[in-house]
Amino acid sequence: MHQPPIPHIDAEDPEIAGLIHDEARRQHDKFRMIPSENYVSLAVLEAVGTVLTNKYSEGYPGRRYYEGQQLIDPLETIAIERAKSLFGAEHANVQPYSGSPANLAVYLAFAKPGDTVMGLSLPMGGHLTHGAAPTIGGKWLRPVQYGVRRDTGRIDLDEVRDIALRERPKIIFCGGTALPRTVDFPGFAAIAKEVGAVLAADIAHIAGLIAGGAHPSPVGHAPVITTTTHKTLRGPRGAMIMTDAEHASAIDKAVFPGLQGGPHNHTTAGIAVALREAAQPSFRDYAAQVVKNAIALAAALQERGYDLVSGGTDNHLLLVDLASKGIAGKPAAKALDRAGMELNFNTVPYDQRKPFDPSGIRLGTPALTTRGLTEVHMPQLAAWMDEAITAAAKDDEAPLDRIAAEIRDLLSAYPIPGWSD
């Protein structure tokens, strides 16, 4: 059942309670490898389920528009100070509701409608909010996009510089959601300085690795840093924006009142708890193990003939092109899910297939590392993946349920916060 217990939901709304319990069991029984997912601690789970959700707190500590903030102000201040300390930032705003509004706040703070902005294109591993056509940024601003090299699958900073010099963007975003290699923050910073752009580092995927010392930090290179607080950071579903002193006021005004009203105080509490956890020595061990596991899984898949975009990984994430395996990403992802391995289908660079039926799959190691699995488990995981994908390519469903049962047996020795028998 779900942990902490939910007896009042059990009694008052058994239909919803049943779904919660079943989801807790599902999360326990599968290899969860969507790289943007993780398991939060019981302390974070408790924080987001408190009476803090009852309180409205428009404004910032010491400058609120509602009374009764005697305890909310210190709560938010603690979260801010923990973020600044953990990442070494001069300023932090912990109010954004999620990563997309955080990035939108950057646009509101430093650009006007019609201004040119620049980011990694979505099919090349960027995020929707980095200028994709269907988004607000894509419609209200003038986005220009850079990509990755066809031969290496890596960002070419010479190309980025050429585009930036030609287009003169007001904002340059670096970072992405399907980027398996280290982000060159100093290189991007030099380009942004040369063209007079604000460099915004989107570290949503790698924030926990940065906090744990397993990836270089953008602090000191990017004056504006956006991140979600879940993913590798293992906090609740929320976001933060960190800046240097010069850019702090513009960001705060963009978040409130520019984009949103009252912050979600229960989420702020969960963020504060997660930031304290991320400051412990054990978190550095976790971050290092995430990368070790990803590298080991990449090697095991390559030994089985799988084509990894960029030839491997430096972080928590793998992007696999399945074109040579005779199956598209979507049917492969569905077969893997049935076989107890949850990941997502994903476009690969220069993909010839449509985005909702692409050639690739995206997977990562944050959640399975949280459970305590190490690199010694990765060859077996790769073997299960290969067996399931091979079966799916032949329309053979017979092995999938057996694999799922074998995975449940293995994972029964690795409990998760949030579920117990």
59 is in an annotated binding site: no
381 is in an annotated binding site: no
The rounded radius of gyration (Å) of the Cα atoms in the chain is 22
Tell me the average pLDDT of the chain.
97
For tokens 């600044």, name the residue. 84
- What is the pTM assigned to this prediction? 0.97
Share of the chain above pLDDT 70, in %: 100
Candidates 129, 135, 227, 228; catalytic one = 228
* Active-site residue flag, 228: yes
Candidates 202, 277, 321, 351; catalytic one = 202
Structural domains in the chain, sorted by start: 45-279 (3.40.640.10), 285-412 (3.90.1150.10)
* Active-site residue flag, 46: no
* Active-site residue flag, 58: yes
52 is in an annotated binding site: no
Question: What CA–CA distances, in Å, run from 414 to 28, 369, 374, 419?
Answer: 9, 10, 11, 11
* Active-site residue flag, 67: no
* Active-site residue flag, 202: yes
Candidates 82, 231, 362, 371; catalytic one = 231
* Total number of residues shown for the chain: 421
Residue 260 CA to residue 267 CA, distance in Å, equals 15
Share of the chain above pLDDT 90, in %: 100
pLDDT of residue 387: 98
pLDDT tens sequence across 18-35: 999 999 999 999 999 999
Taking a C-beta distance cutoff of 8 angstroms, is the pair 65, 58 a contact?
A: yes
pLDDT of residue 208: 98
> In terms of Cα–Cα distance, which of 322, 214, 211, 367 is closest to 277?
211
Read off the pLDDT band of 421 (50, 70, 90).
Answer: confident
pLDDT tens sequence across 68-125: 999 999 999 999 999 999 999 999 999 999 999 999 999 999 999 999 999 999 999 9
pLDDT of residue 213: 98
| Three-class DSSP category at 66 | coil
pLDDT of residue 326: 95
Q: Across residues 387-406, what is the average pLDDT? A: 97
pLDDT tens sequence across 346-380: 999 999 999 999 999 999 999 999 999 999 999 99
Q: Across residues 292-302, what is the average pLDDT? A: 98
Candidates 64, 142, 161, 237; catalytic one = 237
368 is in an annotated binding site: no
Q: What angle do CA 200, 203, 206 make, to 5 degrees?
A: 160
pLDDT of residue 31: 98
Q: Across residues 383-409, what is the average pLDDT? A: 97
Candidates 56, 60, 97, 350; catalytic one = 56
* Active-site residue flag, 84: no
Read off the pLDDT band of 175 (50, 70, 90).
Answer: very high
φ/ψ bin of 98: left (φ > 0), alpha (ψ from -120 to 50), beta (otherwise) = beta
Read off the pLDDT band of 243 (50, 70, 90).
Answer: very high
Residue 198 CB coordination number (10 Å): 22
Please list, in sequence order, all residues whose beta carbon lies within 8 angstroms of the beta carbon of residue 340, skipping any fewer than 6 positions away: 29, 30, 31, 384, 403, 404, 405, 406, 407, 408
> In terms of Cα–Cα distance, which of 240, 243, 205 is closest to 224?
243
